[in-house]
Amino acid sequence: MPMIATLTTTRLIRAGLLVFALGVAGCTESTLEVSGGSSGNANAPLPQKVVQTMITKSMARGSPIVARVFKEENKVEIWKQKTNGRYDLLASYEICKMSGKLGPKYIEGDRQSPEGFYTVRPGQMNPNSKYHLAFNIGYPNAYDRANGRTGSNLMVHGACSSSGCFSMNNSQMTEIYAIARESFKGGQTEFQIQSYPFRMTAANMARYRDDPNYAFWKNLKEGYDYFEITKTPPKVDVCEKRYVFNAAAPGASLSPSGTCPVVAQPDSLKMAYQSYQSGYEAAFASAVKSSDTLAPKPTILGIQEAKVVSEWTKKRARGERVPIEPPSMTATGTVVQTSRMGRIDSPAGRKMAALEAAEAEKKRIAEEKAAAARLAEEQKAAAKAAEIAAAEAAKAAEIAAAEAAKNPPPPEPVVEAAAPVEKPGFLGRAAKRITNLFGS
């Protein structure tokens, strides 16, 4: 028994060797979950450099903000309203960690960070997050729900650990949180987050013109363009399962899945948008012809790939051994995954490792018992076969002896000495005389 216990422990240790390979990713807390964080981080003062930028750019400390995320460029930008009503860039931050590929989030567990237009209100701010500080971006929004997209607890947070969120380092998150806090104090009731796959320039749109997400990105680009033209966040609505921007429909309500009513826009805005599009189309045509472009980054290939990754996430959460990287899908539909396996470092992972190790030990002992039983049977069969062979050999010898007794061999014939042959002539006669004289 001590030997078995030692073997079991050894296998438990071996089973746990890759437990730590996958780590615990973020984005698992509810919006206001208190997880050992410190509200003192939420009350940190604005850095002097940020205050100075506000002064230089004619921004009031409590004026409204809008956040813009560019996934390919790995940036979070905070824009703030100036005294003239237009927004200007206040600060830009490198995203510390982000999972998934370019393209929208489809379903819970696909590890995709969202793309679209989201809203953050004071109740979505979490000063006690276990990821330093956090705010929930409001996924799924009306567009996501209308298109059957699922997921929860998608955040901008600290701790540089992410699974579908936008994760910053702690000092960056403290600064972003403080900027948002001051805007809420100044009277802003909500701020917009615009999340894009990349800067939606003509060159980038040309690079991704054959991507399966292109139609969705063209819809996002409408909102991107309005912000570029007006330098104010667009009014965002959803109808016919698509985004519509700066739409005025007096007396009509927009239903996310319903038919879009006839909407109107100010003539000045329409003219500015048309002028912007003319320049964009010329630049797009030029970019299509150009050979001096960067290769596109990997993108998610729709709901099928999202389902594959989501299943991997479920198994991982249960503590099962899975490839250490989430699977991916090629354009032909082939699923690609790494051969190295591991499990998540969590109570579920450790429990599953122990169960699997115990089951493996149980199986090993059963196999050893079965092997010993087979060996004993084989030895018994071999001994029996040898016993039978010996008995058969003895019987054969007995039969042979009996047969020999019944049929003895004939006696060997007696051979008499042959008479000497007389030699002819003189020598013969002399020999005969000598013989006669002395006897034979």
Under CATH, to which class is 24-234+266-301 assigned?
mainly beta
pLDDT computed for residue 32 by the predictor = 45
Lowest mean pLDDT segment, chosen from 382-386, 389-393, 404-408:
404-408
Is the pLDDT score of 127 beyond 50?
Answer: yes
Annotated active-site residue 157? The verdict is yes
pLDDT computed for residue 320 by the predictor = 93
Residue holding tokens 């996501």? 144
What is the overall mean pLDDT for the chain?
A: 86
- Is the CB of residue 82 less than 8 Å from the CB of residue 65? no
Instruction: Give the model's confidence band at 406: pLDDT under 50 very low, under 70 low, under 90 confident, else very high.
Output: confident
pLDDT computed for residue 401 by the predictor = 84
Q: Which residues contact 260 (CB under 8 A, 6 or more apart)?
A: 239, 240, 244, 247, 254
Q: Where are the domains of the chain?
A: 24-234+266-301
- Please state, in angstroms and rounded to a whole number, the distance separating the CA atoms of residues 308 and 366: 36
Q: pLDDT per residue over 197-232, tens digit each?
A: 999 999 999 999 999 999 999 999 999 999 999 999
* Two tokens, residue 50: 């940020």
Annotated active-site residue 96? The verdict is no
- Is the CB of residue 368 less than 8 Å from the CB of residue 3? no
Q: pLDDT per residue over 20-56, tens digit each?
A: 444 444 465 554 444 444 567 899 999 999 999 999 9
pLDDT, mean of residues 368-391: 90
Residue holding tokens 């049929």? 407
Instruction: Give the model's confidence band at 274: pLDDT under 50 very low, under 70 low, under 90 confident, else very high.
Output: very high
Q: Which residues contact 205 (CB under 8 A, 6 or more apart)?
A: 217, 218, 221, 284, 287
Q: pLDDT per residue over 77-97, tens digit each?
A: 999 999 999 999 999 999 999
> Could you give the C-alpha distances from 131 to 35, 97, 137, 205, in angstroms and in order?
9, 13, 15, 34
Residue holding tokens 């150009």? 290
Residue holding tokens 């004026």? 63
Q: pLDDT per residue over 288-298, tens digit each?
A: 998 777 899 99
* Two tokens, residue 136: 């929930």
- Please state, in angstroms and rounded to a whole number, the distance separating the CA atoms of residues 244 and 254: 10
Catalytic residue among 27, 157, 160, 260: 157
Instruction: Give the model's confidence band at 186: pLDDT under 50 very low, under 70 low, under 90 confident, else very high.
Output: very high
pLDDT computed for residue 251 by the predictor = 64
pLDDT, mean of residues 372-390: 90
Catalytic residue among 27, 96, 132, 165: 165
Query: Among residues of the chain, what percentage have pLDDT more than 70?
Result: 83
pLDDT computed for residue 224 by the predictor = 98
Q: pLDDT per residue over 230-263, tens digit each?
A: 999 999 999 999 999 998 876 677 899 999 988 7
Is the pLDDT score of 166 beyond 90?
Answer: yes
Secondary structure letter of residue 248 according to DSSP: B
pLDDT computed for residue 356 by the predictor = 77
pLDDT, mean of residues 142-152: 96
CA quadruple 124, 125, 128, 134: dihedral sign: positive
Q: pLDDT per residue over 320-342, tens digit each?
A: 999 999 999 998 999 999 999 99
- Is the CB of residue 62 less than 8 Å from the CB of residue 192? no
Q: pLDDT per residue over 276-321, tens digit each?
A: 999 999 999 999 998 777 899 999 999 999 999 999 999 999 999 9
pLDDT, mean of residues 149-170: 89
- For the entire predicted model, the pTM comes to 0.77
- Please state, in angstroms and rounded to a whole number, the distance separating the CA atoms of residues 32 and 41: 15
pLDDT computed for residue 13 by the predictor = 42
Task: Please indicate whether residue 56 or residue 413 has the higher confidence score (pLDDT).
Answer: 56
pLDDT computed for residue 404 by the predictor = 81
Lowest mean pLDDT segment, chosen from 4-8, 86-90, 136-140:
4-8
pLDDT computed for residue 352 by the predictor = 73
